[in-house]
């Protein structure tokens, strides 16, 4: 994989954020990620009048990843309505970890951080066979 173009990922995340459906919270979120085959996938949050049914931007990103051929997430940028870097919630960190693994990178205010650092002691596919050991 060639060098990560963080600026391009940021621009794609901002573009995705502008398509968010956030009439209730007024808190649009966009996310973009580089896939190991070179594609960029994006997602935005989609709220619902039944608040608990809203979808985080990362849910849309993972759906986009799977519906366009799968692969592994390499680098991720998540932004708020101002285009500033945003830390995903716990549920979304788990989704990103599942599809990128501990080595996937998330851009933060402190620079790129591995998913292992963002979600320490993560539960992953390798933990599912614990009862069979």
Active site residue 58: yes
Q: Are 32 and 12 in contact (CB under 8 A)?
A: yes
Query: Tokens 């039944």 sit at which residue?
Result: 50
Q: Which residues are CB-contacts of 111 (< 8 A; sequence separation ≥ 6)?
A: none
Nearest to 83 by CA among 117, 40, 38, 32: 32
Q: Are 34 and 43 in contact (CB under 8 A)?
A: no
Assigned token pair, 15 = 């573009």
CA angle 80, 58, 99 (to 5 degrees): 140
* 3-state secondary structure (DSSP) of residue 107: strand
Which of 58, 98, 103, 132 is flagged as catalytic?
A: 58
Where in the sequence numbering do the catalytic residues fall? Answer: 58
């Amino acid at each position: 994989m060639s060098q990560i173009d963080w600026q391009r990922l940021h621009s794609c995340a901002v573009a995705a954020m502008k398509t968010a459906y956030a009439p209730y919270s007024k808190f649009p979120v966009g996310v973009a990620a580089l896939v190991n085959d070179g594609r960029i996938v994006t997602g935005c949050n989609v709220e619902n009048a039944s608040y608990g049914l809203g979808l985080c931007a990362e849910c849309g990103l993972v759906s986009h990843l799977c519906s366009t051929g799968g692969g592994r997430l390499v680098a991720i940028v998540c932004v708020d309505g101002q285009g500033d870097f945003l830390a995903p919630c716990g549920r979304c960190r788990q989704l990103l970890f599942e599809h990128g693994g501990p080595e996937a990178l998330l851009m933060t205010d402190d620079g790129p951080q591995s998913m292992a650092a963002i979600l320490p002691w993560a539960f992953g596919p390798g933990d599912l066979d614990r009862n069979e050991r």
